[in-house]
Chains A and B, each alone.
Chain A
Amino acid sequence: MGNLEATRPFPDSEEMEISFGPQHPATHGVLRVMVRVDGEKIVDAKPIIGYLHRGTEKIFERETYNGTIPHTDRMDYTAAATNNQALVGAVERMMGVTVPPRAAYIRMILAELQRIASHTIWLGTHALDIGAQTPFFYTFQERETILDLYEEYCGARLTLNCMRVGGQPFDLPEGWTGRCGAFVDQLPARIAEWERLLTNNRIWKLRTIGVGVISAANAIEWGLTGPPLRGSGVKWDIRKVFPYDRYDEVDFEIPIGANGDTYDRYLVRMEEMRQSVRIIKQCLAKLPDGPVMAKVPKVIKPPKGEFYFSVEGPKGELGFYAVSDGSTNPYRLHVRPACFINLQALPELVRGHLIADMIAVIGTLDIVLGEIDR
């Protein structure tokens, strides 16, 4: 008897439960969502994560502070530079290190290039999921140029490991600023091209407007950060609220949406790319001379204490909470992953929508499972 009941999970209704993922191309990794559906309408959804858990926080405790940097590359592998930036920022502040201005500007350039690279992946795959195949090829072309710039700077294209406690490991190679400048000069025209494919596209609008709506108050309650929070109309950006590096010396706007739906989040990210171009241009123009590494001790040993430092990553607020016991290894290094917390709101965003809309919502949250599972 008991077994018979179990085959029909909800005996009083026509609802059924389906398992979406973990191996599904539209989940952007190994995400599994248990969806309760009535026909094709979603009654409830429950994300199940952890398929990519590698115990990164446990590994951190074994490494020296600089030794943890390569592990951060592998969390949000589409945005290694901002991960590095958050980690070294936390350790530097615990030690009282001031980064030389040239290093701070190089960091900002790398981080903003990373934001563009991350958003190009998001746009390409998000549009692909919804059915627009073309933008994918356009966006990945530009991303390739960014990866070439990274390769020239630090030798790696994806897992950059491009920052150290106290500054930058290397100065920019000769001619790099010129090539970077040429790239950002032509980028706004490319962004306009992508927008021509989507912004006024009727199918795109039908698939995104009014889908996955979240109000500003609810977004704060669910702890959303980054474009999902700004899409709901909250003007909130760590680069403005707690300026790090030299973000207080450059001009840029924080784009916000009005309706908190998938379309607004799309517009916010498109504008963010333009603002990143603006920041990079100012950084290249202002790039000061001088050393790229501060005078830090050979052995990094922050004093006893705890510190939380966060940066505005492409996905949201990425924070590192470091606890030091005064030794060379972090006693505890906790990551505040933006994707993990943004994903938690998924059931809230998809209830009442169709399964096809859930694909759009997963895309618009812009999650990377490497960071969620760590």
Chain B
Amino acid sequence: MNEQQNVPPQPPEAPKPPWEEKPVPPESRDAREHEQVREIAAIVPDAVLEAVEFAGQVTVTVARERILDVCRACKEKLEYKFLVDLTAVDWPERPEGRFDVVYWLHRFSDSRRLRLKVRVADGVEVSSVTGVWKVSNWMEREAFDMFGIYFADHPNLERILTWEGFSGHPLRKDFPIEGIDTGAAIYPDVYPPGGGPVAGGEGE
């Protein structure tokens, strides 16, 4: 007897649940035609340089000179009333400006979020958006403190997390992770310049 004929028909294999499959990472796509991007392009023409969608989040890169116009339009005309987050990213090797300043906006009417981004070169000012959203005050101070990005027309651009007189901007990629010699700055009578606790000198 042919054994193969006795095997009962197997049911088709059930698809595995997603957590047992190998994860498929999302891919970035061009989002120039995305609705949220088109809204901006319609109100502030020529400001949008680039638009990318990744994992459902839209990032719009805006010309540095136009950021204040775009933010104002976003708040007043497009109802992005809420600035959730503002921060920066350092890309030291990038020719078109080493810093990204990143704005993350929210609107309540349809619960959508939008990321704006400007590229800023070292030492170049970017307009402060404190006049648009009050909340950006401390966020810009933090970006200034950590990256050394200057925000023009900020009411009080001081260091916020490190102390006044601290030299350097810790979140820049070229800032050493083990820290810098702050000993000499605080206790000049104890530590010679460069001889502080972390400079590998004779501080200890």
Residues of A within 8 A of B (CB): 49-50, 53, 55, 57-59, 61-62, 93-100, 167, 220-223, 236, 241-242, 291, 294-297, 302-308, 310, 317, 319, 321, 323, 331-332, 334, 336, 340-341, 344, 373-374
| Cβ-defined contact, A53 with B84, below 8 A | no
| Cβ-defined contact, A94 with B25, below 8 A | yes
Given the known interface contacts A57-B171, A307-B55, the answer about A295 and B81 at a Cβ–Cβ threshold of 8 Å is: no
| Cβ-defined contact, B23 with A97, below 8 A | yes
| Cβ-defined contact, B160 with A50, below 8 A | yes
| Cβ-defined contact, A323 with B85, below 8 A | no
Residues of B within 8 A of A (CB): 17-28, 54-55, 57, 59, 81-85, 87, 89-90, 102, 104, 108, 111, 113, 115, 133-135, 137-139, 146, 159-163, 170-171, 175, 177, 179
| Cβ-defined contact, A222 with B135, below 8 A | yes
User: B82 contacts which of A57, A223, A295 (Cβ < 8 Å)?
Assistant: A223
How many angstroms between the C-alpha atoms of A96 and B28 in the bound complex? 13
| Cβ-defined contact, B89 with A294, below 8 A | no
| Cβ-defined contact, B55 with A223, below 8 A | no
User: A321 contacts which of B19, B54, B87, B138 (Cβ < 8 Å)?
Assistant: B87
Given the known interface contacts A305-B28, A344-B135, the answer about A294 and B19 at a Cβ–Cβ threshold of 8 Å is: yes
| Cβ-defined contact, A93 with B21, below 8 A | no
User: A295 contacts which of B21, B55, B83, B85 (Cβ < 8 Å)?
Assistant: B21
| Cβ-defined contact, A59 with B134, below 8 A | no
User: B161 contacts which of A96, A308, A331, A374 (Cβ < 8 Å)?
Assistant: A374
Given A223-B82, A223-B134, A332-B171, 4 extra CB contacts under 8 A: A242-B111, A294-B19, A308-B104, A321-B102
| Cβ-defined contact, B84 with A223, below 8 A | yes
In the complex, the chain B residue whose C-beta lies closest to that of A53 is B161
CB < 8 Å A-B pair total:
123
- What are 10 contact pairs spanning A and B, CB under 8 A? A96-B26, A97-B19, A100-B19, A222-B134, A223-B133, A223-B134, A236-B108, A241-B111, A295-B23, A304-B28
| Cβ-defined contact, A308 with B138, below 8 A | no
Cβ of A336: which chain B residues have Cβ within 8 Å of it? Answer: 84-85, 104
How many angstroms between the C-alpha atoms of A49 and B160 in the bound complex? 7
The smallest beta-carbon distance between A83 and chain B, in angstroms, is: 16
Cβ of B102: which chain A residues have Cβ within 8 Å of it? Answer: 306, 321
The smallest beta-carbon distance between B27 and chain A, in angstroms, is: 7
The smallest beta-carbon distance between B84 and chain A, in angstroms, is: 7
Cβ of B159: which chain A residues have Cβ within 8 Å of it? Answer: 50
Cβ of A61: which chain B residues have Cβ within 8 Å of it? Answer: 177
The smallest beta-carbon distance between B160 and chain A, in angstroms, is: 6
The smallest beta-carbon distance between B86 and chain A, in angstroms, is: 9
| Cβ-defined contact, B19 with A295, below 8 A | yes
Cβ of A98: which chain B residues have Cβ within 8 Å of it? Answer: 17-19, 23
Cβ of A236: which chain B residues have Cβ within 8 Å of it? Answer: 108
| Cβ-defined contact, B135 with A221, below 8 A | yes
| Cβ-defined contact, A321 with B26, below 8 A | no
How many angstroms between the C-alpha atoms of A310 and B28 in the bound complex? 20
Cβ of A100: which chain B residues have Cβ within 8 Å of it? Answer: 17, 19
Top 7 nearest A-B pairs (CB, nearest first) are: A223-B135, A294-B19, A98-B18, A305-B54, A50-B161, A100-B19, A336-B85
| Cβ-defined contact, B23 with A334, below 8 A | no
User: A303 contacts which of B27, B115, B133, B137 (Cβ < 8 Å)?
Assistant: B27
How many angstroms between the C-alpha atoms of A331 and B111 in the bound complex? 28
How many angstroms between the C-alpha atoms of A321 and B87 in the bound complex? 9
The smallest beta-carbon distance between B97 and chain A, in angstroms, is: 16
User: B55 contacts which of A94, A222, A241 (Cβ < 8 Å)?
Assistant: A94
Cβ of A296: which chain B residues have Cβ within 8 Å of it? Answer: 23
How many angstroms between the C-alpha atoms of A373 and B170 in the bound complex? 14
| Cβ-defined contact, B177 with A53, below 8 A | no
How many angstroms between the C-alpha atoms of A341 and B86 in the bound complex? 11
Cβ of B177: which chain A residues have Cβ within 8 Å of it? Answer: 58-59, 61-62
A57, A291, A308, A373: residue with the most chain B Cβ atoms closer than 10 Å: A308
In the complex, the chain A residue whose C-beta lies closest to that of B53 is A305
Cβ of A373: which chain B residues have Cβ within 8 Å of it? Answer: 161
In the complex, the chain A residue whose C-beta lies closest to that of B176 is A58
Cβ of A317: which chain B residues have Cβ within 8 Å of it? Answer: 84
How many angstroms between the C-alpha atoms of A53 and B142 in the bound complex? 12
How many angstroms between the C-alpha atoms of A319 and B87 in the bound complex? 12
The smallest beta-carbon distance between B189 and chain A, in angstroms, is: 23
Cβ of A303: which chain B residues have Cβ within 8 Å of it? Answer: 25-27
